[in-house]
Amino acid sequence: MTTKFSSNEDGVSILEFALIAPVVMAMMLGTLDIGHSLFVRATLDGAVQDAARSSSLEGATSETQQDLIDERVASTIRELAPDAKVTVSRRYYKTFSTAALARAEEVIEQSPGNLKCDRGESFMDANGNGVWDADGGSDGQGGARDIVIITFKVSYPRLFPMAALLGWSANVEMQSESILANQPYGDQTGFGKPVQVNCPSV
């Protein structure tokens, strides 16, 4: 009877399925999650490129128009990820080279220096906005001929509650940016000579 029991294969398929099913399901859900994220990323890149082109037009310099453009991108993303949180930032520069270098405004530092505007120091305000800019740019869309970097950040919960099993974060986070020159609808403004300004007290 022992021999008969040991050679009995009844229920083997169910046992094998029970062992394999969790692995297969995790692989399937992980593949679907990655595919969805790639689709959202491709859609975001396309929407950001379109937003950048629209923002560079003369009629898009007002904050109202920029809000409409930004909302169009957010709506596109939320069609794919309804709970997505979309944030946008615009930084403008006078040339492509200053945008690429993204150098901080010069700080007149105490010794030893830390390359930051703190400890009651002062800085040379090159763009005249009264704020120390770590990348040398200014907030906003700028004006004619200015170089603008538009950055959209997106965060949304994963499609399936299995992120912890695979060691992933609970949210998908991605960023897309575009750099474009505003149309030459007028003369480009200048900042003038840098002015020494006190750093904010910490």
- Bridge-based pairing state of the strands 122-125 and 195-198: antiparallel
Close Cβ partners of 70 (under 8 Å, ≥ 6 residues apart): 51, 86, 88, 152
* Domain count for the chain: 1
Give the per-residue pLDDT at 55. Answer: 93
Residue for token pair 């005249």: 128
**Inside any domain, residue 4:** no
**Inside any domain, residue 159:** yes
- Which uninterrupted H or E stretch holds 155? strand 147-157
**Inside any domain, residue 147:** yes
**Inside any domain, residue 135:** yes
The whole domain housing 47 covers: 10-198
Give the per-residue pLDDT at 90. Answer: 96
Residue for token pair 């904010």: 200
* pLDDT in 10s for each residue of the chain, 202 residues: 455 556 666 666 787 777 887 788 878 888 899 999 999 999 999 999 999 999 999 888 888 999 999 999 999 999 999 999 999 999 999 999 999 999 998 888 777 777 788 877 888 999 988 889 999 999 999 999 999 999 999 999 998 877 777 778 889 999 999 999 999 988 888 888 999 998 877 6
Give the per-residue pLDDT at 2. Answer: 53
DSSP label at residue 143:
S
**Inside any domain, residue 2:** no
Give the per-residue pLDDT at 130. Answer: 87
Give the per-residue pLDDT at 160. Answer: 82
SS3 111: coil
